[in-house]
Every structure is written in structure tokens, then in C-alpha cells.
Amino acid sequence: MSRTDRLNLRPDFDSAEALLADLGWLCSLPSTTGQPDQLHAAARAIGDWLWRLGFSVESVPTPTAPILIAVREGRSPQRVLLYHHYDVTPPGPWRAWSHSPLELAEREGAIYGRGVAHGKGALAAQLHALQALIRSEQELPVGVVLVLEGSAMQGSPALAETLAAHAELVQADLCLSTAGERDGRGLPFCYMGSKGLLQIALQVQGAALPLEPGLAASVVNPVWRLIWALSNIKGDDEDIRVEGFYDAIAGPRHTDRDMLRAATVNEAARRAAWQIDDFLFHMRGGALIRSQTTLPTCNVSAVVVESGSAGASIPTGASAQLDLQLVPDQTPELVFAQIQKHLHEKDLGDVRLTELPGAYAPITSDPAHPLIQQLLAAGEQLYHVPLSVLPFGPFAQPLALFGHLLNAPVVAIALAREDSAIYAANEHIPIADLLNHSRLLADFLLLREWATASVAA
């Protein structure tokens, strides 16, 4: 059967009614990250839904939230693994929303609600494609494995152990996820992998009770110790000062450099959406893309001062959280040890470091792999132009856990836009983007002549 004949089998995706109905139901399930009661209830509901769609479902308990593994075999013994998460960022103050974050609202061709652009929207879109294919052909052309976790926003602390314990169940020839943003044409980037993740808590303890500020000349202030520790890790020139931090980095491959030269982003739209005057160092064009793609990051995501007093005082303690996104060939274990050694050498050994649960290495796949080439061909068929390809983007996902376990390529397709507000109120996504995300999966599954025997490589 020719490619054209196979594409003619694609179900009609012009109506978004069914997709939005599923998405509305998903968004109505409270599933804020770090809220066990919400996450357990959401996992049960989603697991029941997948079972009704014909998937065999296993709910794996973890200390944080259940991980769902759902499998439905297809005509070919080959499999595609779809990685998703059902936990979402906290909605924040509801008064900041134009409507309830747990209800969908449609305005000017876009849909609003918590999770529509980050998590639940991608899940609804891809399940919409699978349901349509099943209705059209009574089966899937290839086996599909769904892995849905409820702790992605916390670093996927239980995912590695869960995958190792269910290695045979999750076997697949490709891992596909949703992450990232869009290029200068408004089309989704296709990423050949993901950066790694390391999260560190820094804590400094002071006196047992708040002290008068006049004692600051003779008593340690834990806030100053924390400030000095942070400034010794990263300077005001944005350089990470930890000895050896950059030594292991392999740098872009030849194929990566070709990707970087070809990629563009809508810089003006980003600045307007984020309400920033400019990017660091006034970066533009290729320099901006390279900084987001090839460089590791060290971000301060939280600072807490334990003052214990409403007035001026020397606080009793201070803490901060760092999240670092890593690039090849950095590892969480190596970087944590480097930071710990660095602070000791700077006479900041009283700053207690704790590696937080959830850490994973970076990974990148070969864009020449046949399955990735087929995905890119499906993208070109759908959008009528080739998709922009990058080795990674400004995000971290646990794709290395899948790639190493499966010995298979990993790839991520973007859904959100620069103004989607996935961490803020009024998260939204154009309905057309959701439909195209659904179409892309259907086209990928239909375009390929799937093998009669698994060829994971």
C-alpha cells in the first residue's frame, strides 16, 4: 500500500468536539503536583478510562503518585511508547484566572484551562488519534505503550525503579513525548532528546532563636551564608563557577551544528509574551538558540528565610532550591559531587546540600534513525514543510530512562506556544494545535510500513 493510500485511511480530524470533551474531563480532575489525594484519584479515573479504550492497564504505586502503564497491541509486533504525565502545575490564585482552571473555556480559537498546553492537552490529543484509528480500522497498526506518571513536575523520582521492574511490559521501538516550544514559523520543534535534571536543596542553620540585628557583627547570619554559597556557584556574569562543571561537556555534534544553524524562533513574540525587555546579553538569532539548546543551566527556583520574627532580626535559618539542566556528558552524580566539593573549598562547608529525589541524565538520539525519519516525514506531510529539528530544548524530561532501558531512540514534539502560560494563570493553546498534534501521531502510525518483527535499535 502506498503512502497516499495509507493516509487516505486517516480518520476525519476536522471536528474537535470529541477531543475537547475528553480534554474537558481530564482538566476537571484536580491533579496538582505534590497533592497525593488528588493524584491518586486522578490516576484511578484515567486508568479506568484507558481500560475502557481497550488498553490493559497496570497502576504501579509509588511514594508520590501512581505510575500508569497501559498497553494495546497492534497489527505489527513493533511498539511505540508514548510518555505522558497527569500532574499539573498549581493553578495559583483562582482570582487570577478569567474562569475556573478546572473548566475549559474557549476564546478566539483557543482553549483555556490548567494542563491544556502542558500535560493533559497532549494526552487528550494523542488518545484522540488512537481512538480514531481504532474506530476506523478496529485495531492499531502498531502496538502502543502509554506511560503516565504523576510526579513529572517533581523530577520523576520513582520512574527509574518502576521502569526497571516492568522492563518487559514497556518494551518499545521508539519513545515519543511532548515538550518544548515552536519555531519562528509557529511550527513545533522536533527534539532529538532532552537535557538531564539535578535538583539540590541548600540549607544553612543559624542560632536556635531569632537574635537582635545588632549582633550581626558577632553572630553568623544564615541568609548571608546562603547568599555567598549561591554566588560562589554562579556569578553575575551567568557563568557557573563550580570547578570542573564544564569539563565533561562534549559539545555539539556536527549534525547538531547543522540543526542549530537552520533553526529560528520568534524572538519578539517571546519577549512580548513573557513581558521581558530583552534576553541575557542581548542575544539574538543563533546565539539565543544555542544558549537554550547546548548550555547547561543552574536555576534558583526557591529561597526561604526562617525569620521567626515579624521585625528586623538575625534569622534562624535559610534555604534554597537549585535545579540544574544537564547536557552530554554530564551526570547528576558527578555535578552534585562537584558542587559539594566546591563549597567546601570555599569555606562554605556549613551549607548543607541534599540531592532531592528525581534526577536523570541527558540523552540525544540520531536524527538519521529510520523511525525518527518517518516521524519527520509525517510532520512534513502534515505541515507541508520540514519541521525544525534540535538536539534538545530548554526543558528536562526523563527520556534517558526510556532510551537506555529500551535501547531505542527518543524524540519529543512541541505543543505549547511561547504565550501558553503553562506555569501561570489562563494557560491556553489554540484548538488547531491540539488537532495537529493528534494528526501527527496518526500520520506517523499510518505512514510507516511497520515490520512484522521488532527491530528496536
Phi, psi of 124 (to 5 degrees): -60, -40
Q: Are residues 345 and 419 in the same domain?
A: no
Are 43 and 112 in a shared domain? Answer: yes
Residues 213 and 306 in one domain: yes
Other CB atoms within 10 A of residue 397 CB: 29
Q: Is 313 helix (H, G, I), strand (E, B) or coil?
A: coil
Same domain, residue pair 76 and 105: yes
Judge if 349 and 421 occupy the same domain.
no
- Residue 332 resides in a domain: yes
| Lowest-confidence pick of 51-65, 224-238, 251-265 | 251-265
| pTM as predicted | 0.94
Last residue of a domain, one of 329, 355, 381: 355
**160 and 45 in one domain?**
yes
Least confident of 21-35, 114-128, 441-455: 441-455
Select from 194, 72, 244 the least CA-distant residue to 141: 72
CA distance 118 to 100: 17
Which of 355, 373, 405 is a domain's end point? 355
Q: Is 265 a member of any domain? A: no
Structural domains of the chain, count: 2
Q: Is 288 within a domain?
A: no
Q: Which of the 8 DSSP states describes residue 294?
A: H
Q: What is the pLDDT of residues 173-213, one digit of tens each?
A: 999 999 999 999 999 999 999 999 999 999 999 999 999 99
CA 167 to each of CA 86, 405, 416: distance values in angstroms, whole numbers, following the listed order: 21, 7, 31
- Check whether residue 185 and residue 44 sit in a common domain: yes
- Residue 263 is assigned to a structural domain of this protein: no
Domain hosting residue 214, numbered range: 196-249+296-355
Instruction: List, for residues 355-377, the tens digit of each pLDDT value.
Output: 999 999 999 999 999 999 999 99
Check which CATH number belongs to the domain holding 377 and give it. Answer: 3.40.630.10
Within a domain: 453 = no
pLDDT in tens, 288-304: 999 999 999 999 999 99
419, 111 contact by CB (below 8 A): no
Give yes or no for a contact between 374 and 132, defined as CB atoms under 8 angstroms apart. Answer: no
**122, 73: one domain:** yes
Residues 329 and 439 in one domain: no
Q: Is the CA virtual torsion 130, 88, 160, 335 positive or negative?
A: positive
Instruction: Looking at the structure, tell me whether residues 340 and 418 fall in a common domain.
Output: no
| Same-domain check for residues 74 and 215 | no
Average pLDDT over residues 305-326: 92
